[in-house]
Amino acid sequence: MYRVVLVDDERLIVQGLTKVVPWGKLGCEVAGTAHDGISGLELIRKIRPDIIMTDIRMPNMDGLTMLAAIHSEYPRIQTAVLTAYRDFEYAREAIRLGVSRYLLKPSKMDELEEAVQWMTQQLDRMPAEEAYPETEEAQSVTAAGNHIVQAALRYMQDNCREGHLSLTEVADHVYVSQWHLSKLLNRETGQSFFDLLARMRIDEAKKMLKDPATRVHEIAEATGYADVAHFSRSFKKYTGMTPGEYRNQRP
């Protein structure tokens, strides 16, 4: 029996899907339900289901990034979206990121059953150990990883001046584990999280150094460094010169 997780902030939808869909006849069982994206992801990581049916327009959640996170971290999982959100480009992007079926609410029973049957057939054909060749599945896993990295980099850029910014915070923002985000960043950029963050901060510092009225200790504080010494060491590591030397060599 394939294990299914249902995620929707409308409790009546979850209850209806649990009771009405003939899961047993389709070779499945509902292993858990959740009513928001965050608890849904926690449940998915805990029980590692085979199939997920989820809405993607839930409060405080980037639906596409959540879908990308699931498919990037757990490529064997089959995902069906059940939503009232009627946007072709959004649906196309969801499918590019690995969604098996994009169903609009209210869906007919035959549509739901067809989606579940299609996903179980994909699972039936999978080897015990995942090893994707150059197929559509491999391409969607790559697309999902790239989506996660781009979302993470945007968040880092927007928050790089915050001294407390951590890998944990960024990973939580893009719905993946710290380990998985670290792996994706290295794969996509060739750099670690800490190198990427440091370079972003140094780039911000370079902009501020253009103003001779702004003191170095003010720039250090404004770009997330605890003290001037740490800032100066980091600046020299990535530019080959101290902040003062960088400022003085500018015309």
Domain boundary (109, 125, 141) is at: 125
Whether 131 has a pLDDT exceeding 80, the answer reads no
Whether 130 has a pLDDT exceeding 60, the answer reads no
- Domain membership of residue 120 as a residue range: 2-125
Q: Which of 224, 220, 215, 221 is nearest to 247 (CA)?
A: 215
Task: Tell me the mean pLDDT in the region 8-34.
Answer: 94
Q: How confident is the model at residue 132 (pLDDT cuts 50, 70, 90)?
A: very low
Do the domain assignments include residue 175? no
Residues 104 and 206 reside in one and the same domain: no
Residues 116 and 223 reside in one and the same domain: no
Do the domain assignments include residue 136? no
Whether 137 has a pLDDT exceeding 70, the answer reads no
Task: Tell me the mean pLDDT in the region 91-107.
Answer: 89
Whether 53 has a pLDDT exceeding 90, the answer reads yes
Give the burial string for 53-85 (b: 16+ CB within 10 Å, else e). Answer: bbbbebeebbbbbbbbbbbbbbbbbbbbbbbee
CATH number at residue 50: 3.40.50.2300
Give the burial string for 8-37 (b: 16+ CB within 10 Å, else e). Answer: bbeeebbeebeeebebeebebebbbbbbbb
Residues 21 and 103 reside in one and the same domain: yes
Residue 107's pLDDT is 86
Residue 251's pLDDT is 58
How far, in Å, CA of 155 to CA of 79, rounded?
A: 26
Tokens coding 33? 């339900």
Which ranges of the chain does DSSP label H, i.e. alpha helix?
11-20, 37-47, 63-73, 88-96, 109-125, 136-159, 167-173, 178-189, 193-209, 216-222, 228-239, 243-249
Q: Which of 72, 8, 78, 91 is nearest to 50 (CA)?
A: 78
Residues 24 and 113 reside in one and the same domain: yes
- Say which residue, 119 or 126, is predicted with more confidence: 119
pLDDT tens string 194-248? 999 999 999 999 999 999 899 999 999 999 998 999 999 999 999 999 999 999 8
How far, in Å, CA of 18 to CA of 24, rounded?
A: 11
- Say which residue, 83 or 131, is predicted with more confidence: 83
Domain boundary (98, 125, 152) is at: 125
DSSP 44: H
* Sole residue written with tokens 């998985």: 180
Do the domain assignments include residue 74? yes
Neighbours of 89 (CB within 10 A): 7
Domain boundary (125, 148, 175) is at: 125
Q: How many domains does the chain have?
A: 2
Whether 134 has a pLDDT exceeding 70, the answer reads no
> pTM value?
0.83
Task: Tell me the mean pLDDT in the region 152-181.
Answer: 94
Q: Which of 33, 36, 28, 30 is nearest to 14 (CA)?
A: 33
